[in-house]
Amino acid sequence: MICVPKSEKSLEECEDVYGSLGFRFAISDGATEYIGSQLWARTLITSFLHGFDPFDAHVWEFNSRQWEIACKSLYSSSSWFGGEKIKKGSAATFLGIVFNDNLNFRAVAIGDSCAFHFREGKLINSWPMTDPGEFNSNPTLLFTNHTPARPLVWQGSCLKNDSVVIATDALSKWMMELNATGDNPLAILKEGSKDGMNQFIYDLRKSGKPKLDDDDVLAVLIQL
Residues that bind other proteins in the complex, under the rule CB under 8 A: 6-8, 12-13, 32-33, 35-36, 38, 74-76, 79-82, 84-85, 88, 137, 178, 183, 187-188, 191-192, 203-204, 207-211, 214
Handedness of CA 203, 168, 34, 21 (dihedral sign): negative
DSSP 8-class letter at 128: S
Contact status, residue 95 vs residue 109, Cβ threshold 8 Å: yes
* Distance (Å, whole) CA 111 – CA 86: 22
> Which helix H or strand E contains 157, and what residues bound it?
strand 152-157
According to DSSP, the β-strands at 217-223 and 2-4 are antiparallel
Residue 26 CB, shortest distance to other proteins, in Å, is: 21
- Output 97 or 178, the one with its CB closest to other proteins: 178
Contact status, residue 78 vs residue 90, Cβ threshold 8 Å: no
Residue 50 CB, shortest distance to other proteins, in Å, is: 24
Residue 137 CB, shortest distance to other proteins, in Å, is: 5
Residue 128: asked if its preceding bond is cis (omega within 30°), the reply is yes
Residue 132: asked if its preceding bond is cis (omega within 30°), the reply is no
Contact status, residue 93 vs residue 129, Cβ threshold 8 Å: no
- Output 156 or 192, the one with its CB closest to other proteins: 192
- Output 24 or 85, the one with its CB closest to other proteins: 85
- Output 16 or 25, the one with its CB closest to other proteins: 16
- Output 15 or 105, the one with its CB closest to other proteins: 15
Residue 19 CB, shortest distance to other proteins, in Å, is: 20
Residue 146 CB, shortest distance to other proteins, in Å, is: 18
